[in-house]
Each structure stands twice: as structure tokens, then as C-alpha cells.
A and B are shown apart, each in its own frame.
Chain A
């Protein structure tokens, strides 16, 4: 008697679990015994994780007062370009950063130059120009001189 009750309870839990995740358009198999993720995963986070895994990083570093690309930077950007060509619906923003020791406005210009250098290289490698925008953070966010590729959807 007790054993039957437990089995019924187990069945009930499984049924309600599968009902919960059955949203319109999405069919997800529930495999018994497999741990489910703690909550719904945002598609942006999945995309971002995939982008980082396949490109080797979202950040390009520069020398002080330099906006030219180093060889490692070109390698990373080639991988970013390949990924972006495969995901034409994903828009990105390149955030350029100036040198922390610089003066306010020259740092804005250097951040903009770095972002534009990255954008030009991605476009050169076949990424549609409309997929990539730029901005400059000047020296407002501490850290090394860099340009960060941010997925904006």
C-alpha cells in the first residue's frame, strides 16, 4: 500500500514538472534522474557564454596611448568576426576605454579610436557594418586600455 502511494506521488511530480516547462513553441524532454537547471536560462546569457567560449574573449587590450591592433588582438577579432557572421541577428557594441592616467577628453578620443579600430577590423573580416556600433567610455571605468565587445541583441 505504502509503495503504491509513493509511486503515485512520484508520477504526479513528474507530470507537473513537464507541464511547467511546456511553453508555446518550446518542447523540452524531461529525462528522469537528470538534474534540471535552477531556473530559466536567459537566451542572452547562453549567447554570451557561447560567444566567449568560441572567440577566446570579449576584450582587446592596447598599449598606452596606442590604438593599433596587436597580433593576439587580430586573432581574437578573427574569431569574433567568424562568430558574428554566424549570428547575423546579434548586434554588438564596441566599448573603447582610454588610459587611466590620461586627461578627461583625450581619453574619450582614445577610447573612441580603439572602438573604431576594432569595428573597422571586424567589418574588414566580413561582419556587416550595421551589426556593430561603437562608444567610448573615456577613462570613466578603471582598467587597462581596452575595447570590449558587448552583445546588445
Chain B
């Protein structure tokens, strides 16, 4: 019954070609249960049990995408270890699968596990990707997420987002009892934990490319100032050794620099400093508010917002501050730009009399369109795939929560969290 449904979906996609709606093609990917050469015990359970759970997790990961329809694992499709690298293509062709994910989980003598992952093009009958991961048994989920990413990339050409992290500000309590903590989790919501205690107001956590460090704004000294937080140890230090108001930090793609805003008298300009400390270099000098810098993925350019024209608009400059030019020209205000990891798009928050909404445009200012209707949306951050964004949505009474939205025009989806949430930041693929 399930199989027939996918046949119909596939047929529908095929018939849809040429229609005005231009249906997005959805690839059917078979994920039969992973194999094991020998069912050995590990601290996280037997290798066969891990293999079964891992195949379910892979199917679950792929189901969250709009490009892939997974055929979920069923016990009767279990294959032997030798068949991992010699699958039966006609069988999967007859089920309508375009791609096939196989793999194995093997307990090693050093108490770790080897996680093998293989992706096949079923029509052509050949392997398109393979990767092996050696992890602690308790980290099999991360290996499974990476296997999902390998399959996603093989099918779509875009990086998979399953082994990525999301940081945000957890908000609980009301009024003077309001507590704000920096939280971090895997992109599927697992491994959720708090990194700060909640006695100090915190804003805008931003992950380093390795997701090991977080630049954020803290009121620990009474004024908003950029600080760096080690996600593992919890150790903190100020970014620049002065008492000026500083905010809006973002890492460069190589993780070595941090662009941010700093106030000097009434003037907010954009600066860049080494993530290891040292003096800050000033990049903008216009009077007024220049803020929210975001690097291009190759690190050579920075998009930012400035009200130098009289209203907030988006500007692009070289990473040393040269060649500043305006790229947005619409009414209202444009703010909080974030450059997509593939370099194609810049997401922004647009303020109009009706409220705030999320949109995208290209770095040359073309192709502008709004993705959400607001009225309380802001602070979009790209997924590593460059096909999806996470953002903050506030209701009329000011309660904020997080949503994900795809570029394909579908409705935003709420992210389930234990409490209110603001200022999300989505990491790239961490290796």
C-alpha cells in the first residue's frame, strides 16, 4: 500500500513536467535496514540493533526534506553484509526507487564502531557516493546523520543539514523574572542543552564554523558587549578589551575573524577583529547606524545594513571595507542580512507598516521576494543546504518561537522547543 502510494507520487511528478505549476521533482530513495557483519555487543547496544535504528533515523532525516521521499526500512528487506556493496538493483527499480542507501555497522576491537554508508543510483545501477565513519558507539546518531547528508548531497547536489547545530536564546519567565539562556541542539532537536546560567541577559549567539565556539552579546558588565563562549567548557571572554557597546557578531567562513558593530559616541560602525583577540579594524565610517554584518561564503565580501540614506538598507562591501554599494531600494527598512552558504542569496528582515517579514534577494540586488508574511518575523539564518532558513516569529504579546521555511514557497514550520526562543543561528556542516 505504501509502495503504491509512492508510485503514484512519482507518476504525478512525471506527469507534472511542463505544467504551469512546475512541480518540484521528488526523488524516491530506498533505505532498507543497514547490515552488520557480526552482531556484537557495544555500550550502545548490539551492532544489529544500532544498524536497525540508524536506518530508521536516516529515513526520518530524509523525510524532513522537500526533495526526497524515503522508502522507510522494513525488516523483510534486510540484506547480508556482502550485499552492502552488491545490492539487487532490479528489486529496488520495481519498487520505484531512484536511489538506494545501504550500509553496515561493525563493532571494532578498540570499542568504537565503523559505520559504512553507500549511495547508489538505482536506474544506472552504480554507486554514486560512499563514506565510512569511525565513532564511539554512543555517537552512532551523528554517523547516521552524516550518512543522510551523503545521500541528500548525492541526490540534490546541496550539502545535507542533518549533522548541523542550531543555537538560540531560550526565553522563560515574564517581566522582571524573565530568564535568557544560550541553548544549543542538533538540527533535529536532539542533544538540547543550555550553555549559560540565566542570571545575565544574553542576545544573538552565533556559531563558529566548527560549532565549537559561540560569539554572543552579554550584559554581564551592564552594557551589551560581544563575548566568546567555548561550547564545550563554557569558558567565556570578551572579544575586544574595551568598555564600548559592541553587538551583532558573526564569524568569517574560516572562523578566524569576527565582524561586529561597535558604538563610538552616537555612531555605530562595523569592525572586524581576530577571533583569537587583538585590536579591531574599523570597516565603515558613515555617521548613523551600520550593523548586522555577514560574510560571503568565500570570505571576501560583507553584506550589512546601514541607515546612511535615511532608511535602513542593505549594502555590500569588500571584507576590508572598500567598495561599499547599496543593493536594496524598496520602501520601509531592510535589516539583518545573512549571506547563503552557496553565495546565491541574501536573506533579510523587511520592516513595513504592516510588520516585519523575511525575504531574500541576490547580492546584486535582483530577484527580491518575500518568503513570510509576518508580522513579527526577524533574524533569518541559513541552513547549510542554502535551501532553508530558520527565523524568529513573535506573537502580538511578544512571545517568540522559532520557525523553519524552505525557499520552495511552502508554509513555515514551527520548531518544537521546551520554552520560548529567539535569535536562532544555524551552523554549517561540521566535520
Determine the chain B residues whose CB is within 8 A of the CB of A106 once the complex forms.
289, 291-292, 305, 307, 312, 333, 335
Chain B 262-282 residues near chain A, CB threshold 8 A: 263, 265-266, 268
Contact with B along A87-107 (1 / 0, CB 8 A): 000000100000011111110
Q: Give CA–CA (A100, B400) in the complex, Å.
A: 13
Contact with A along B307-337 (1 / 0, CB 8 A): 1000010000000000000000000010110
Q: Give CA–CA (A37, B329) in the complex, Å.
A: 63
Question: Given A113-B289, A135-B222, are A103 and B336 also a contact pair (CB < 8 Å)?
Answer: yes
Q: Does A112 reach chain B (CB closer than 8 Å)?
A: yes
Chain B 339-379 residues near chain A, CB threshold 8 A: 349, 351, 355-356, 378-379
Determine the chain A residues whose CB is within 8 A of the CB of B248 once the complex forms.
105, 108
Q: Does B224 reach chain A (CB closer than 8 Å)?
A: yes
Q: Does B245 reach chain A (CB closer than 8 Å)?
A: yes
Determine the chain A residues whose CB is within 8 A of the CB of B266 once the complex forms.
67, 112-113, 116-117, 120
Write the nearest CB–CB distance from A7 to chain B, whole angstroms: 50
- Closest chain A residue to B398 by CB distance? A142
Chain A 96-153 residues near chain B, CB threshold 8 A: 100-106, 108-110, 112-113, 116-117, 120, 134-136, 138, 140, 142
- Interface residue from A67, A103, A135 paired with B349 (Cβ < 8 Å): A103
- Interface residue from B217, B261, B351 paired with A102 (Cβ < 8 Å): B351
Question: Given A67-B266, A135-B245, are A103 and B289 also a contact pair (CB < 8 Å)?
Answer: no
Q: Does B423 reach chain A (CB closer than 8 Å)?
A: yes
Contact A108 B335 (CB under 8 A): no
Q: Give CA–CA (A112, B355) in the complex, Å.
A: 23
Write the nearest CB–CB distance from A29 to chain B, whole angstroms: 39
Most buried by B among A109, A110, A113, A135: A109
- Closest chain A residue to B355 by CB distance? A101
Contact A110 B222 (CB under 8 A): no
Q: Give CA–CA (A101, B312) in the complex, Å.
A: 14
Contact B224 A135 (CB under 8 A): yes
User: Does more than half of chain B's interface fall in helix, strand or loop, or is it mixed?
Assistant: strand
Determine the chain B residues whose CB is within 8 A of the CB of A135 once the complex forms.
219, 222-224, 245
Determine the chain B residues whose CB is within 8 A of the CB of A113 once the complex forms.
266, 268, 289
Q: Does B201 reach chain A (CB closer than 8 Å)?
A: yes
Q: How many residues of A are counted as interface, with CB atoms below 8 angstroms from the partner's CB atoms?
A: 23
Write the nearest CB–CB distance from A37 to chain B, whole angstroms: 26
- Interface residue from A104, A109, A110 paired with B423 (Cβ < 8 Å): A104
Most buried by B among A93, A102, A104, A140: A104
Write the nearest CB–CB distance from A124 to chain B, whole angstroms: 13
Q: Give CA–CA (A135, B263) in the complex, Å.
A: 11
Chain B 77-124 residues near chain A, CB threshold 8 A: none
Contact B335 A93 (CB under 8 A): no
Contact A112 B398 (CB under 8 A): no
Write the nearest CB–CB distance from B286 to chain A, whole angstroms: 13
Q: Give CA–CA (A120, B312) in the complex, Å.
A: 25
- Closest chain A residue to B312 by CB distance? A106
Contact B222 A105 (CB under 8 A): no
Write the nearest CB–CB distance from A132 to chain B, whole angstroms: 13
Contact B379 A103 (CB under 8 A): yes
Determine the chain A residues whose CB is within 8 A of the CB of B204 once the complex forms.
104-105
Q: Does B251 reach chain A (CB closer than 8 Å)?
A: no
Q: Does B170 reach chain A (CB closer than 8 Å)?
A: no
Contact B268 A109 (CB under 8 A): yes
Contact B245 A105 (CB under 8 A): no
Q: Does B207 reach chain A (CB closer than 8 Å)?
A: no
- Closest chain A residue to B350 by CB distance? A103
Chain A 59-88 residues near chain B, CB threshold 8 A: 67
Contact B224 A110 (CB under 8 A): no
- Closest chain B residue to A117 by CB distance? B266
Write the nearest CB–CB distance from B315 to chain A, whole angstroms: 14
Q: Give CA–CA (A103, B423) in the complex, Å.
A: 11
Contact B356 A101 (CB under 8 A): yes
Q: Give CA–CA (A100, B394) in the complex, Å.
A: 11
Determine the chain B residues whose CB is within 8 A of the CB of A102 once the complex forms.
351
Given A116-B263, A136-B263, 7 other A-B contacts at CB below 8 A? A67-B266, A104-B336, A109-B291, A112-B266, A134-B223, A135-B219, A135-B222
10 closest Cβ pairs, A-B complex = A103-B335, A109-B289, A105-B248, A109-B268, A135-B223, A113-B266, A105-B291, A112-B263, A116-B266, A108-B247
8 contacts between A and B (CB under 8 A): A103-B356, A106-B312, A106-B333, A108-B224, A109-B291, A120-B266, A135-B223, A142-B398
